[in-house]
């Protein structure tokens, strides 16, 4: 095994980037884990449980054919088909079928609470199996103001709420600058589960998740939407331009029977990476603030 002391700073940085791209976020657990005991417990769980056989009472002879048949030596009683189906791996759902299931689940929800429960129980998207949390809308659903981010990051997945960590702290400051707070808007993300290694969601994953975010919009009926991030803007505007080409312009997006004005801006994480772009985001926030005032959603 190569020691970290034998690596140069550049090699260490490359190794850390490799692990980050692979989805590794922690090198140590919060609490010490006895891996040896864990391994022994796993082995014990895999051992076939021997079925206790009734022993004849003193002075009695076991009569062949009476009672339950004895299993053959060194064989394991096979579980019933229903038990095997419950314990074994579930078959993968084709993408087309998963999209249909997502649409049915989303359209069946009559409230945001019902939709949240339905999304948490939905297993048709492979992103859910690698994520810790399901990120759903939070805040004031009656405000008429909706802010939609792209996809959960590592901090979001860990905390279970959108815009967590340093980008969340900057996001709070951005809202405060135009007289808003987290609790005064409805805050959500396009994708409810974090893609491994923060990769971009695939086209199939976007199609599966689309009914969920569109249903959130339809149920909340916002009067104005702020889209944050390149992915979020492309997802709703249907364009392939960068966020610099998509930001700052009001457009209309449709969800069910709702048509809502929306403006895109840079994601807080983008601003942490390139602080020089904060002036662009500030112009977008001022435009969003003016729209909210014109709709009587924000006091002057």
Residue pLDDT, tens place only, 182-237: 999 999 999 999 999 999 999 999 999 999 999 999 999 999 999 999 999 999 99
In percent, how much of the chain has pLDDT > 90?
65
Q: Which residue has the higher pLDDT, 43 or 248?
A: 248
Give the best-scoring range by mean pLDDT among 9-18, 32-41, 122-131.
122-131
Task: Count Cα neighbours of 12 within 13 Å in the Cβ-side half-sphere.
Answer: 7
Please give the radius of gyration of the chain, using alpha carbons only, rounded to the nearest integer.
27
E-assigned strands of the chain?
A: 138-139, 145-149, 186-189, 224-228, 251-255, 258-265
What is the Cα–Cα distance from 258 to 281, expressed in whole angstroms?
Answer: 26
Which domains, ranges and CATH numbers included, belong to the chain?
Answer: 95-295 (3.40.470.10)
| Edge-to-edge strand list for the sheet holding 138-139 | 138-139, 186-189, 145-149, 224-228, 258-265, 251-255
Global pTM?
0.70
What is the Cα–Cα distance from 206 to 212, expressed in whole angstroms?
Answer: 10
What tokens appear for 186 in the block? 């409805």
Q: Tell me how many helices (H) and strands (E) the chain has.
A: 13, 6
What is the Cα–Cα distance from 288 to 142, expressed in whole angstroms?
Answer: 18
Strands 251-255 and 224-228: what pairing? unpaired
């Amino acid at each position: 095994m190569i020691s970290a002391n034998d690596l140069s700073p550049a090699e260490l940085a490359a190794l850390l980037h490799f692990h980050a791209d692979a989805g590794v976020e922690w090198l140590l657990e919060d609490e010490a884990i006895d891996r040896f005991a864990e391994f022994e417990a796993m082995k014990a769980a895999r051992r076939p449980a021997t079925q206790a056989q009734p022993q004849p009472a003193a002075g009695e002879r076991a009569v062949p054919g009476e009672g339950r048949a004895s299993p053959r030596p060194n064989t394991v009683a096979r579980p019933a088909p229903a038990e095997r189906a419950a314990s074994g791996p579930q078959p993968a759902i084709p993408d087309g079928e998963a999209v249909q299931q997502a649409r049915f689940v989303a359209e069946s929800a009559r409230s945001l609470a019902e939709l949240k429960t339905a999304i948490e129980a939905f297993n048709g998207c492979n992103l859910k199996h690698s994520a810790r949390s399901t990120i759903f809308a939070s805040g004031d659903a009656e405000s008429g103001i909706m802010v939609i981010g792209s996809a959960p990051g590592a901090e979001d997945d860990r905390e279970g709420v959108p815009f967590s960590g340093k980008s969340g702290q900057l996001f709070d400051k951005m809202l405060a600058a135009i007289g808003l707070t987290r609790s005064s808007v409805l805050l959500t993300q396009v994708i409810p589960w974090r893609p491994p290694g923060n990769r971009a969601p695939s086209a199939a994953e976007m199609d599966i998740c689309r009914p969920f975010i569109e249903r959130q919009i339809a149920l909340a009926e916002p009067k104005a939407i702020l889209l944050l991030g390149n992915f979020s803007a492309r997802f709703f505007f249907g364009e392939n331009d960068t966020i610099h080409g998509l930001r700052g312009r009001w457009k209309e997006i449709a969800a069910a029977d709702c048509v809502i004005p929306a403006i895109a801006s840079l994601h807080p994480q983008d601003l942490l990476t390139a602080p020089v772009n904060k002036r662009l985001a500030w112009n977008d926030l001022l435009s969003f603030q003016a729209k909210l005032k014109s709709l009587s959603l924000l006091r002057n």
